[in-house]
Every structure is written in structure tokens, then in C-alpha cells.
Structure 1
């Protein structure tokens, strides 16, 4: 699975990224996330490359916990994470670039393979994830307006 979505948000990239890259806001704009916590700080402390965030979500009627490790953290442009624990491997990339005409072009890309755990819904998984990340971006824009 490799899905992405983008949306222009009428706020500067610094404002959008500051909010979206703060794990304490994950549950406010990310579909299904009920809780997020910084489970391992970055080597220099706080949030950055090497930090790990544990998210608790509800997905297809099940509660799941997964841990994302920060691979790249370059505010206000890029946040890249990969799962190191959870039901299936995934790689998540958030980008916040200046949009032509102003605002921020915000995008989310998710790559992963859920076929081992969600075999029956595998063919629908990409559509489901794409719909969710479109809603994430919609909710992100709403929280920043």
C-alpha cells in the first residue's frame, strides 16, 4: 500500500507544522487516535530524530497500540516516521511546503503492508487509508482556522 493526500491550508507552513508535528495534538486531528504519548525522547531530549511516540487507536473496531520512531524531523517542512511496534509495518511522511498563492500545501503519505493482519479487507485498505488521511487534513485545517 502506498497512499497519499494533500490539501492547501490557508496558514503559514510554520504555523501548520508547529501544530501538526506536536504529538500532543495527534488525537485532535488524526482519525482514530485516542491517545498519543512520547514514549522515548530523542537522544538530545524531547521530540526529534530517534524519539518514539506511542499511539492508541481504534481501527476496524479494534483497539491497537503502535509505536512510531522519528526518522526525519526538519520543521517546518518534514516529519517522517516508521512503525517499530504494532500490528503492521508502516512508514508515514508529513510535508508542509509553501503553497503557490500563499498558505501551506500539507501532505501525508503512508506506505505499508497490512495484508498479513487484515487479509480480508486488504483490497479495501488503500481506499480506507486514503479517505482517513483526507479527513486528517480536513480536520487539521479546521483546527488551524
Structure 2
């Protein structure tokens, strides 16, 4: 009969490579999602951040967390890399579509963020986080 330590080490030896693979795939999806977001948004986040625009920082920070939340749910509930990739892409698309819909509903959002309107940035970040939580719940359900 194996000792508890041997069982733990055996589990670690077989489980750790799978964990690392799933984690790396999810991080790559996350980075791709942030990259796509930065490319498709009408704002130039890098320049706004370099200029010290707090609204842009709040919005980008909220977006980063909002992209990570449903990916974390996908990571926690998926059984394979393919599962993570498929549902991760769906999650990212839903988050980016949320931003697009917000821009359509609030047409003056871009100039508000670019002018440093923290209230507008906080509201949009909260909307994205709310949708991310719902998205994660649906992914985990």
C-alpha cells in the first residue's frame, strides 16, 4: 500500500503537466483577448495611459479583469485544451461584443474617456465586469 506522500507525488507528477498546459493555453487566450480589445477599440490606450489618463487606466484595468473572469470559469470547468480554447474564444467574443454594444448605446463614450471622464470609464468598466460575471456563470453552469 502506497503512503500518502507517494500518492500525492504521483498525483502531482501526472496532474502538474496538465495543469500547466491548461494554464498556459488560458493565459495565451487572455493575452490574445487583451490584444484584440486594444486593436478593435477606437481609443489608443497606450498613448492615453502614457499621458496619465486615469479614465483610460480604469477602463483598461476593468477590461483586463472582465476578460479574465470568464476565462477563469472556463479553465475551472473544462476537461481538455480544446474545450478551453472553444469556450475561451466564445467568452472573449462575448466580452468584446459587450464593449461594442456599449459604444453604440453611448456614442460619446470615446471622447469622454479620452478627455479623462472617470465616471464614464468606471461605468463602462462596471458594465464589462457585470457581463463577465454573468458570462462566467453561464460558462460554469
Q: TM-score, normalised by structure 1?
A: 0.31
Structure with higher Rg: it is 2
Q: TM-score, normalised by structure 2?
A: 0.32
- When you count helix as a share of all residues, which structure comes out higher? 2
Higher relative contact order (CA 8 A, sep 6+): 2
